[in-house]
Chains A and B, each alone.
Chain A
Amino acid sequence: MRTSPSLLSLTIDSAVLNLSSLPDHIVIDLFLRTLRAGKLNERVLKLFIATGKDEVFSLIQALNIRVTVTPVLPTTIKDDEIDIVIGAVCSDLTSFMNEWRLMFSRFHLIIVKDPDMKEELRIPEGFNLDVYEKPDIDQVVGSSTSVLFSGYACRYFGYLVSRKKYIISVDDDCLPARDPKGFVVDAVAQHITNLTTPATPFFFNTLYDPFTEGADFVRGYPFSLRSGVKCALSCGLWLNMADHDAPTQALKARQRNSRYVDAVMTVPTGSLVPISGINIAFDREVVGPALVPALKLAGEGKFRWETMEDIWSGLCVKVVCDHLGLGVKTGLPYVWRTDRGDPIASLKKEWEGVKLMEEVVPFFQSVRLPPEATTVEDCIVEVANAAKERLGSTDPVFARAAKAMLDWVNLWKSVGSISSSSPAV
């Protein structure tokens, strides 16, 4: 039972909504007193910023006050259930790690250095991490198998040795993005939210993710499908340099992605999707072995334009998820992908990947997994055998990919799993 408002409370309520109607000197005084009283939190700071008064901004700058992002994870998830895996293709991770510090520093990190890289890794202090380099990889998997993990694929080694439930992985040339309001996007929290809310692959919801605040299932959505299924993988997006292939980026040299689409959605079952490895997260316990370091282009290089390994891996994951009734989400969070490399140089060097997709997509569209394949490992073996059979003669890269997938499953069984293989949900 609310008591009726007093004149004082009404005045405070209206002032607190909008401080810009107050005279400047009163706003400054309020600001300083709030600071001294130790009551300046993020919400209050935003209120003062919203006044647009220059003196407030000068004070904020002079006192070096910054809006800190406190990652808000779903309360059911503990920090020690998450590993952040970074594949280091660049040697100097200093600015990368510093930019992500607020979001990464409370979690355990696994950094895997590209075994082909000669330079020393440079990593700033203040993180809880394990670093793996070529000798470590050789020791765990044997030097003949370690070739699986060269280049961008080095991160898969991190997936292999992690013992956490959730893994989040971003490329080392990506920084935190800002949303249209100017606030820094907590990619970790968003990925975890995606993974810990159900996916809805059997029927498309026109308001996108029904489990997000302010949204729901629309009229006409069958009730029996509203509990959804477990989300196994969350594919995020990129502002600035979007993940285009070399021909596209070369053609549209100045195009940068500035469109922030405020949505997460489930990719429907039966629909294949190119899952970029630049910004992903997955439930390792549920779907770990399905992320396979398999498709290595003959001319694979150190720019994403020169690889297709993540696309092949993502298609495996989607096919397996569709078979086992798991979900894949796409959309938020965004990361800011920095300009790096020259698409024309990449195009001259490596366009094989673009050509191969013409074979890859019809192959995955035609893969049928038998009902007896009830575990992720079984499914991957089936896909590998199908790839060898149907694509092996088209191009040796596919025969190698099939073998790599089988090697990976074996590795997973011996090194990767801490318990028996993940059952179908």
Chain B
Amino acid sequence: MVEPATASQAAAPAMPKLKDELDIVIPTIRNLDFLEMWRPFLQPYHLIIVQDGDPSKTIKVPPGFDYELYNRNDINKILGPKASCISFKDSACRCFGYMVSKKKYIFTIDDDCFVAKDPSGKAVNALEQHIKNILSPSTPFFFNTLYDPFREGADFVRGYPFSLREGVPTAVSHGLWLNIPDYDAPTQLVKPLERNTRFVDAVLTIPKGTLFPMCGMNLAFDRDLIGPAMYFGLMGDGQPIGRYDDMWAGWCIKVICDHLGLGVKTGLPYIYHSKASNPFVNLRKEYKGIFWQEEIIPFFQQVVLPKDCTTVQKCYIELAKQVKEKLSKVDPYFDKLADAMVTWIKAWDELNPPAGGSSAPNGKAA
């Protein structure tokens, strides 16, 4: 039986790392009561709340948190016509928070995610672990059988070439979930009672050339290294698909990270996921995605980005071009999505003008 930690069990760290360099982005449609549980770990940080749904509703933020809040009216005002690329009635709208942030790092979490306990009963400070993951190198070129060699108590194994031991910068830290696992609708329908109780005490780098399903529930990334590629696509109201926002972003960022020599880690930290969404509702949202992903995956597996794509934005524009070329035939939705991807980059660059002159390459092209 896995249980979440109680508010009293969470102990605030003495020195919250990256306090002024990290924003926490939370999409919400109802309330932010869950933040009470997270208070000792998250209060030192600035929050960016993206309010989805009815903008006339007031979202109550627990006292003591420093935050900025954006509803749909704000998004429309700030982006003007470009607001069309931000999803409505879907948590994909969270990527607006990535765009308006002025910090180097982002941690994003869903409002039904609570503090987990490790096997010893200790409350897991998820943000602290994400920060450790992001501030230590990744090792995508050769698999280490003892997982993350930069963790305390671990190291590279025999046979690991010394020239590869410096690693590469980590762009993304992908955390996991205890209790309600992130299953698709068909699996939820078949296994409604399955709970994830297995605490796997590992962080590992996803090897270069390997794609993975990125879940946006418990995610951290370096905005400077990969931010522009974290577009969560067109989902929700008026769109034929839902629950593929984070997946789409995950395939895009992995291809770009592989190209630019950046790392993606997965594993710890765990959060406690409390709410199981309705599998029938999910099935309706995911339905097309289940078929489309059979085409989408081979597309991403075969994508080749040209050498002159030396920045994330250039990579992303090129990716959008290839999506239009190769995926439009699957469904006209991809045509719209490719356009939205370009709009997103334009909006990103407008809101995040490069400091002094032309943008420098933010990674080495593979």
Contacts and interface: CB of A to CB of B under 8 A. Distances in A.
Interface of A: 180, 203-208, 214-225, 235, 237, 242-245, 248, 252, 255, 257-263, 267-276, 304-305, 308, 311, 314, 330, 354, 357-358, 360-361
A262 B209 contact: no
Which secondary structure characterizes the binding site on chain A? loop
Interface string B159-195: 1111110000000001010000111100100010011
B162 A274 contact: no
Contacts of B286: 219
A208 B204 CA distance: 11
B156 A248 contact: yes
Contacts of A304: 158
Given A206-B182, A258-B153, 9 more contacts: A214-B194, A223-B294, A237-B146, A245-B156, A255-B153, A262-B199, A273-B145, A274-B157, A274-B159
B309 interface: no
A44 to B, nearest CB: 21
A244 B154 CA distance: 10
A259 B119 CA distance: 12
A205 B153 CA distance: 25
Contacts of B161: 357-358, 360-361
A251 B290 CA distance: 50
Nearest to B213: A220
A-B pairs, top 8 by smallest CB distance, nearest first, are: A220-B213, A274-B159, A271-B207, A311-B159, A273-B143, A268-B210, A204-B212, A220-B247
B197 interface: yes
19 contacts: A203-B210, A203-B213, A204-B211, A204-B212, A206-B174, A206-B266, A214-B194, A216-B194, A219-B183, A219-B215, A221-B213, A237-B145, A245-B156, A262-B201, A267-B143, A270-B209, A271-B207, A305-B158, A357-B161
A205 B197 CA distance: 17
A216 B247 contact: no
A238 to B, nearest CB: 9
B161 to A, nearest CB: 5
**In the complex, which of the residues B145, B155, B174, B197 has the most CB atoms of chain A within 10 Å of its own CB atom?**
B145
Residue among A217, A269, A272, A274 with most chain B CB within 10 A: A274
A237 B147 CA distance: 11
A219 B181 CA distance: 9
Contacts of A203: 210-213, 297
B119 A276 contact: no
B293 A218 contact: no
B194 A259 contact: no
Contact of A274 (B145, B195, B196, B244): B145
A272 B156 CA distance: 14
B250 interface: yes
B202 interface: yes
Interface in B241-268: 243-244, 246-247, 250, 266
B121 to A, nearest CB: 13
B280 interface: no
A263 to B, nearest CB: 4
Contacts of A248: 155-156, 158
